[in-house]
Structures are given as structure tokens and as C-alpha cells.
Structure 1
């Protein structure tokens, strides 16, 4: 097979057939499933293949050769799914590369790995003889936008511009989490085929992600009543106290970063365009505005309050609700 490289979101049913080898590189479980599930379903339906799961941190060369063997009278049409391939030993990797270079027409192979050194002969041979599919997690809202376009087409629904903007601004930078929210929206959609801003707002209003964004905005705007009520709501919705504290710490870390950049004469536009990759595009301007409500000289006190709260959550007998709300009140008093 000639070497070919695609992104997981570009994978299509026409790329599935018996006898092919697929190399999936990356750590995003949702993308990996989005490739392996259609392959498994298609080959099972069309060829009634036996499906064999093996793991690189467990398989030995003799067993691997037995599974890959196509000369035995007991050989059947198979789909072999090898996970944790990054943990293969040298002998096992060599055996795998040898097979992929001369595969059987009666079986397909999916190789899933977190990492691969393509300078080595084994991985280079596997890459050159497989369909190489990148399964990296999203790094920016651009990736999530492409994902949204693909999934909406698969689900045969549309999303209007305002709904799309709201969805992208209030969902987590994570394919699995965003897919869960989108499924909820589609259920609420009923027989309609176009998702509106109201549909997105209704679904996000009851999700963890929607609550988290509300929390960010309350902290950023120094809206103490909203902060306290959101902490109450989060604790009542099965958030762990340390999860809430982590989100609080994240907000102030980003605000501090923005204030340091402004102190070093970076313009708001430069900060938005170059220095906040951890945020969605639509959130960056909002966080720069949050930073205007805080002062750089207050951050030693803010960090001390956060440090005290971290210790108290682990050691104090006071309720978690009290500790988190007290933390927020003390920070809001810093000027």
C-alpha cells in the first residue's frame, strides 16, 4: 500500500476494506473510536470477520506471529486491533512491520499508538505500508469548528450561525464532551433539522460545561452574588470541591498572565491573537476584559488566598461550601 496520511476527521467509509492496515497515532479517544468503530462494523457486516484484540504491553512475538499467521489451515478472515502499540518490544515491532509490508488479503489490522518514532526502521515500514491516521486532541476552536461541521453532516442536521457561535464559545475544547452536548441538543431538536441558538442555550444551561462558563464569567466580572450562587449550584450538581477550586485557580492564572503581558506593553489585540492558546477564540477577548477588573499588584494576595484554600480543602473540618465561598469573598476584597 502506498503511504497516505489523513486526519481522523477526514476518514471516510470508502477507505474501509479487508486486507488494509491502519495506523492510528494520537491520544484522542473519541477520534480513535470514530475510526475503529466504522471499520469494525463494516468488516463484520460485509465479511463476517473474527475480531481479535491484542495489546502492545502484553503481546509477545510468538503469540503475535500466531495471530498474524495466514498460512494455517485454521486461518480465518480477521480484523486485528492492536492497542498500546507504543509499548511493543523490538522483536514484536519487527514482526509487526514485516507483516504490514506483506499483508494478507484476508485480514485487516488497526494499530493504535500514542507515539511512534518514524526514524526507526520498524515504525517507518509500518507508516509507509498503512493508511496513517492522525488522532490528536483539539488544540484550538479551529479544530472544534471542523469537527462540528463533520458531525453535523453525519447527523444530517444544520446549525444556524448564532447557534454555532454559542456552541463553540460554551463547550469544552474536547471532542467527547462536545459530542455529548451535541447529542443532547439533537434529542431536544425532535423532528426539526436546524439547531437554533435557543436549542443550544437550553441544552448548555443544564450541562457541566455551561455551568463552568457561567462560573468563569462571574469570577471575571467580580460578580460576588453570582459566584456564590454558582458555587452552590455546582456543589449541588455533583461537582467535587477540588474540581471547582481547579477552575477558580485556572481563571486567576489566566488573568494574571494577561496582566503580566499588559505590563510588558503587549496590546490587547496581540494578547488575543498570540498568547492565549488555552482559550477558545471567542473567550480570549472576554478574558482580556476580565483582566481589566483586576490589578497586577493584588495577585500576591490572591495567590496566597488560593494556597490557603487548597490546604484548607484537604485539612480543615469546615464544609467545602464554606471554604470555597470564603475564598471567593476574600479574593473579591483584593484590589
Structure 2
């Protein structure tokens, strides 16, 4: 079952006795746990009929006893078990899950991992609960997801601002959502987020960031690349080399894949690479400037400098020195 389907059912006051939410993407688990806590019951009903447990402190018997109570002055009660992955003897919930009380809505959030599929509990969850399994989003999906999230809040975000935000935060949906909410509070009457807003309210320089470094290398603009690296050297938290190298590798590996696509149609290339058509022009331009041997050499250099950044075959060069040397060799 999907997140949207569960939320739609709850809005229609249609509830199942047990919901098991598991996986390594916390964002959707947190969203449903919050909705269960604040929307299933009215404020008056919550006083008597909402019970919240946390896995680290929870005793399985207390959880089951809470689930077995009948609601007071309401049609149903809600029992939440948060951070269930930290609960000891969680398999002892099997008895209740097999025969739940229809007047209780029991919602379990099991983050970071899934229950062992070979276990009795896993088979029971599949047969007797509404089971939601989440997984981390691919990095290539983040820009599209973020753009839709902004749109769902009634706003727009331009492409440069979108890339700055996603490149800076990475694959952390909760943090992306929080930063967007912070941005929207500061927009006033405006309905569009720009790169200036990202710089001012998120703290990312619109001129000195990984995206601009990537663009400088792709355009063979060595002076600009060196200026950006010097900025990173003066502001170590802005873009540590451990963040820069994977971002560059992601870009140039996509450029490398362009050579394997027979068509030069941008939509066809975007589909083959699994990226937004917005990026394709940059990939094609870089492929034309460097050609196949140049892109292959860039990927090998990124591998070499990744090893050197962790001390392999390097006597302790600074991050800035490594990056300057690397971009010179690339160009």
C-alpha cells in the first residue's frame, strides 16, 4: 500500500487495525506517524484514546495491554509504537497482530531496515497488516521530487535554485522538506524560490558551490574552477572534498553514458540515462568538449583523487591542493 492511499483512507475515516511502516526512508514513516498522531482522533478524543510508545523504552506487554483497551467516549483509540527497530522482544507482538482489536488503530514505525523476510513475524505482517515498505530515493530522482514538493505547497523553484538545494543537502528528504518550509516562511508575497533565496536563507553560495565547480570543469574554465576551490579552502564546511568528488563523478559518469546512446534526441537521452531533460544539454556539451578519451580520463582521475583524499598514495596533501591539481589535469 502507498503513502497516498493510506492518507486517503484515513481522511475518509477508513482504518485498518494494524499498520506496519518499515524501511530505510524515514521521511514517509515520519509523515504517517505524524498523521496518525494528529489527524485520526480529535483533540478531545486524544486525551483518553492516544497512547505513544518508543521502542527503546517500550515493554511488549505494555504495548499489547494498551492495544487491548477499549476506547473511551470515541469510536476508536490509537496506539503508536515509534522507533520499533529499537524494541526488545518485538516478535512477541505477533499474538496481538494475529488477532487485533477492531476498535484500535495500531501504527508501528520500524525505521532503518526491514524485518527479516524469513521470520514468522514478516509472514504475519504481510498477511495481517497494512504493510508499507520504504526505500531510499535514487539521487537522480531528488530534483523531480523536490520540485513536486514545492509545487504541492503552492510555490515554484527555478532550476538553479533547485540544483543548489539538492546538491547541498543530498538524499535527506526530511531535511529538504524542512529547508523548503524555512524558505517559504521568508518569501513574503512571492511564490517563486530563486538562487538568491537559497544563498540567503539556506546558507549556500550561489556562485561558489559544487554545481558551479562542475559547470566550470565541463566548460574547461580553469580560472573559475580555481576561484571556486579557493573559496572552498577558505570555507571548509561549504564543500568538503568528500562531497565534491561524488558529485563530479555522478555528473561525468552520466556524460560517459551519453556515448552509449545511439540517438542525439534529448528526450531519448534523458530516458536512457534516467535524468531530467533539463540536464541533457550540459551532458551533450561536455561530451563534445572532452570527447570519449577525455571523459574516460576524468573518471580515472576522480577515482585516483578519491583514494588520495583518504590517504592512499598521498603523504597528506590538503583537500584544496588535491582539487586544484585534479582540475588542472582534467583540463
Cα distance, 1:87–1:142 mapped onto 2, change above 3 Å? farther
Which residue is 2:248 aligned to? 248
Tell me how far 1:297 sits from its aligned partner.
1.8
Q: 1:20 to 1:142 in 2, by over 3 A?
A: farther
String of CA shifts for 1:213-270, please: whole Å, max 9, x gaps. 22222222222222222223334150322222232333332222223x15xx343436
Worse-matched range after superposition: 203-212 or 237-246: 203-212
Q: Is the 8 A contact 1:19 1:103 kept in 2?
A: no
Q: Distance in 1 between matches of 2:97 and 2:6?
A: 25
> What is the CA distance between 1:143 and its match in structure 2?
3.9
State yes or no: 1:187 paired with 2:188: no
- Cα pair distance change 1:44/1:109, threshold 3 Å: farther
Task: Kindly indicate whether structure 1 or structure 2 has the higher relative contact order, using CA contacts under 8 Å at least 6 residues apart.
Answer: 1
Task: Output one character per residue of 1:100-132: Cα deviation in whole Å (capped at 9) or x when no partner.
Answer: x42362563324354368898754553454444
Cα distance in structure 2, aligned partners of 1:146 and 1:299 = 32
Shift of the 19–195 alpha-carbon distance from structure 1 to 2, 3 Å rule, reads same
Question: Structure 2: any 5+ residue segments left out of the alignment?
Answer: none
* Equivalenced residues, count: 305
C-alpha spacing 1:167/1:92, structure 2 compared with 1 (3 Å): farther
Aligned ranges 1:18-167 → 2 under 5 Å: 20-42=17-39, 45=43, 46-48=45-47, 49-54=50-55, 63-69=59-65, 79-83=79-83, 91-92=91-92, 94-95=94-95, 97-98=97-98, 101-103=99-101, 105-106=103-104, 108-112=106-110, 114-115=113-114, 122-123=121-122, 125-127=124-126, 129-133=128-132, 135-139=134-138, 140=141, 141-150=143-152, 152=153, 158-160=154-156, 163=157, 165-167=159-161
Offset, 1:29: 1.6
Structure 1 spans left out of the alignment, 5+ residues: 153-157
* Aligned counterpart in structure 1 of residue 306 of structure 2, from 294, 304, 310: 310
Partner of 2:270: 273
Over the aligned positions, Cα root-mean-square deviation in angstroms equals 4.0
Equivalent pair of 1:86/1:115 in contact (CA under 8 Å): no
SS for the counterpart of 2:55 is: strand
2:198 is aligned, of 197, 204, 208, to 204
Partners in 1 of 2:110 and 2:79 — Cα distance?
13
Instruction: Rate the CA distance shift 1:221–1:95 in 2: closer, same or farther, 3 A.
Output: farther
SS at match of 2:317: coil
Is the 1:181–1:204 contact (alpha carbons within 8 Å) kept by the matching residues of 2?
no
TM-score for both structures, normalised by structure 2: 0.72
TM-score by length of 1: 0.72
**Which secondary structure does the structure 1 equivalent of 2:289 belong to?**
coil
